[in-house]
Structure 1
Amino acid sequence: MWDNHKALNSFASFLFGAALLMSLVAGGYWIAHSSYFPVRKIRIDGALKHVTPEQLRLVAESELKGTFFTLNLDATREAFEKLPWVRRAVVRRQWPDQLEIVIDEHRAVARWGESGLLSSQGEWFDAASSEALPMVEGPAGSEKDLVRALADAGRLLAPASLRVVGLKLSERRAWDVMLSNGVQLRLGHDDVEGRMARFVAVWQQELVKLPYRIEYVDLRYPNGFAVRMPDYKPGNVLPRKPAA
């Protein structure tokens, strides 16, 4: 072999290439782990209403570990998503020393029973809020149905200047709605939107004019409805309210 100049040249070229590759790997490792490439700046984007700068600072100080090159983006994203109001976080590197974090907050539309909140995306999340939100209840997995029902009810009740303060879906898929004026609507599980539209029409034409407190309106009848008025006594009709 030592007399074979072609083989010697090939072997020397191989050794040179291997040495060069090892040097590049070692250099790359040094650059990636070098303290000369720290994350010096963090940029936070997003319409933040509930997540505070203090919360973000604490996460950054406790969870951001490594250099610009070695920082684990998935672990960083998960750390920010642990904050109660954060729905999603996107983390990106910006050369040469900046980390960009985009925060997408939950938008709460209701309270889920006695624990947690329901977002506009139909997602339950564990956070506190001082907002006046409707209370909703339903079987596990009905979150998106409840959010859709809230939106539909708000649209249908708007002409009567009423809003939903409580919404319940039973295990048998029957709907009950509590209104801002204290009236409960029993809607059942069939033609819910049609029944609510019928209530709005009758409310504006007749029920709002009655001089009695209405406890509930049962709309589960095919051709009518029942009204519960605790103050009403047969044969003792109270005078109508004077017209405004």
Structure 2
Amino acid sequence: MAKKGSKSAKMTRVSPLKPGLRGASRLVQSRIHAGFRSATLSRQSMLRFSSSVLFALLTLAFIALWLGGHLPTMRDNLETFKQERLMAVGFTVERIDVTGEGRLNEADVRAAVGIYEGDYFFGADLKRAQRNTESLPWVDRAVVRRLWPNRIVVQLVETTPYALFQENGVVHLTDRDGMIVAPYTVETASLPAGLRLFTGTDAAIHAEEMTQLMEAHPVVWDKTKALTRYPSGRWDLTLIGGQILRLPRDETAKALRRFTAIDPQTTQRFSIVDLRLDDRITLTPATSADA
């Protein structure tokens, strides 16, 4: 024991961690880190293994369903489930609007469209509806489209009648191409004025061609009510008063000019004016019955 007042004994500071213990600490820390890395690698390996097993099971299930022919059924069931869910939240057809059906019965148009209120909105077959609608008489073009969120709109462009065509005693309305639009009836509404009647072999097909030729001779065309085409390709004109002009197959325009050069007071006394020969005009007097 040091005496009071004596010089204090020399004290040596000792490190908190001796060199041997410091090395042991580093060893423990390295083993802990190694354990963490090992645990991490084990989890990743397990995840990869689990994923591989799951993928293999799904592949085997898919092959089994495919071989068993159940895939279409599953697809249909999923589609039905999706459709029912969407319809449940309001994706249904609530209105079908038809425009441009001046000569058509709207009920016929709706039946051709084949889409009805309450149908699945996204399931409406617009292409089929358009094809069916365009097959109706009077319909030249049709556009069927969805209008968000619940409407189907059908827009019709109607065919404009170009001529009347008589075949086997039945009169039809035709378009510019000679295609039959609909049967002609006296009740047919909104017909263009001045439609001429075409009869004979392929008369409807050649109606536009003959009409253009005749429009260049308005004096004759305004009096023409019917045109008859023969197998040779020539035409007869029937005028409003019943007079018949027999035209040649070739140089028809020249024959019409020859006719218009004659005094109308002279030609109106004849029931038939034959212009088929280039060097003469043959006239058939009108009988009392013709008069």
TM-score with structure 2 setting the length: 0.61
**Structure 2 vs 1, CA of residues 211 and 124 (structure 1 numbering), >3 Å: closer, same or farther?**
closer
- Where does residue 134 of structure 1 map in the other structure? 196
Per the alignment, in what secondary structure is the counterpart of residue 153 of structure 2? strand
1:170 alignment counterpart: 230
Cα offset, 1:215, TM superposition: 1.1
Q: Give the gaps of 5 or more residues in structure 2.
A: 1-44, 59-74
Equivalent residue, structure 2, for 1:189: 249
Amino acid at match of 1:139: T
Does 2:69 correspond to 1:9?
no
Instruction: Give me the whole-angstrom Cα distance separating, in 2, the residues matched to 1:120 and 1:108.
Output: 8
User: Match of 1:112, SS?
Assistant: strand
* CA–CA separation in structure 1 for the residues paired with 2:56 and 2:245: 84
2:178 — aligned with what? 122
The alignment's C-alpha RMSD in Å is 3.7
Report SS of the residue matched to 1:69.
Answer: helix
Deviation string for 1:1-21 (max 9, x for gaps)? Answer: xx65324235658999xxxxx
Q: d(CA) in 2 for partners of 1:68 and 1:135?
A: 47
SS in 1 for 2:213: helix
Superposition pairs for residues 79-98 of structure 1, below 5 Å?
A: 79-98=132-151
Which one of 110, 116, 140 corresponds to residue 60 of structure 1? 110
- The aligned counterpart of 2:159 is 106
Per-residue deviation at 1:137?
1.4
Contact kept? 1:85, 1:127, Cα under 8 Å: no
Larger Rg: 2
* 3-state SS in 2 of match to 1:165: strand
The correspondence for 1:143, drawn from 201, 204, 209, is 204
- CA distance, structure 1, for counterparts of residue 184 and residue 57 of structure 2: 65
Q: CA deviation at 1:44?
A: 2.9
More helix per residue: 1 or 2? 2
Please tell me whether the aligned partners of residues 56 and 80 of structure 1 are also in contact (alpha carbons under 8 angstroms).
no
Distance 1:121 1:212, change over 3 A: closer
- Do the aligned partners of 1:156 and 1:196 also contact (CA within 8 Å) in 2? no
C-alpha distance in structure 2 between counterparts of 1:82 and 1:227, whole Å: 48
Q: Relative contact order (alpha carbons < 8 A, sep ≥ 6): 1 or 2 greater?
A: 1
Query: For residues 253 and 238 of structure 2, what CA distance do their matches in structure 1 show?
Result: 15
**Is the deviation greater in 33-42 or in 221-230?**
33-42
Aligned counterpart in structure 1 of residue 91 of structure 2, from 24, 37, 40:
37
Distance across 2 between alignment mates of 1:85 and 1:211 = 41
Aligned ranges 1:9-28 → 2 under 5 Å: 9=51, 28=82
CA shift in 2, pair 1:214/1:207, >3 Å: farther
Structure 1: runs of 5+ lacking an equivalent: 17-21, 233-244
Per-residue displacement from partner, 1:194-234 (whole Å, max 9, x unpaired)?
A: 3223323x1xxx331228522122111123322222369xx
Distance in 2 (CA, whole Å) between partners of 1:190 and 1:83 is 39
* 1:210 aligned counterpart, secondary structure: helix
Q: Structure 1 pair 87/207, CA: closer, same or farther in 2 (3 Å)?
A: same
CA distance in 1, matches of 2:253, 2:267: 27
Q: Is the 8 A contact 2:275 2:281 kept in 1?
A: yes
Task: Using the TM superposition, name which of 55-64 and 177-186 deviates more.
Answer: 55-64
Cα distance in structure 1, aligned partners of 2:286 and 2:218: 26
In structure 2, give the amino acid aligned to 1:104: V
Contact 1:34 1:67 in 2 (8 A): no
Please state how far the C-alpha of 1:190 moved relative to its aligned partner: 0.9
Q: Which amino acid aligns with 1:92?
A: R
CA distance in 2, matches of 1:208, 1:104: 43
Of 256, 269, 273, 1:217 maps to: 273
What whole-Å deviation, never above 9, does each CA across 1:45-75 have from its counterpart, x for those lacking one? Answer: 44x5422xxx113542683243221122233
